[in-house]
Amino acid sequence: MTTVEQMLKAKGSEIYAIEPDEPVLEAIQMMADHHIGALLVMHGEQLSGIVSERDYARKVVLLGRSSADTPVWQIMSSPVTSVARHATVHECLALMTASRIRHLAVVEREQVLGMLSIGDCVKALIDEQQHHIDDLERFIRS
């Protein structure tokens, strides 16, 4: 089974984060620049929360707040749902489904190692299934 550690190696473990006091507009710009749907909210090395496009839509746009005047900490989700690097893709998807979330922080011993999206997990699951299919086809041909 594919692990979180394997998924991070495949996608890269670059961490996109923003400070809690930064304006939401800056967070949205970072997400757009990096083509991602969420950022970790970190105060230095300390994980404080996560802010997503969904948070923005529900807590800024729908409430008529100003993106430039609202700090990230006011709309971030906290506490952050996280997994360790030994978790499997199946465990990640089950946790995302049960929690109704699309992003998981990867944390071990209070150190942030990266973040996975539901898209990263689905890609890993598809790759895993394709590998099984290829093995079965080779077995049948032999």
Q: Domain containing 20 — which CATH number?
A: 3.10.580.10
Q: What is the pTM of this model?
A: 0.87
pLDDT tens-digit series, residues 25-50: 999 999 999 999 999 999 999 999 99
Spatial separation of the C-alpha atoms in residues 106 and 7, rounded to whole Å: 11
Mean of the per-residue pLDDT values of the chain: 94
pLDDT digits (tens, 9 = 90+) for 85-117: 999 999 999 999 999 999 999 999 989 999 999
User: What is the edge-to-edge ordering of all strands in the sheet holding 46-52?
Assistant: 17-18, 38-43, 46-52
> Is the model's pLDDT at 13 over the cut of 80?
no
Count: domains in the chain: 1
- pLDDT number for residue 12: 82
Q: Where are the alpha helices (DSSP H) in the chain?
A: 4-11, 24-34, 53-56, 89-99, 118-141
The pLDDT value recorded for residue 141 is 87
Range of the domain at 102: 4-141
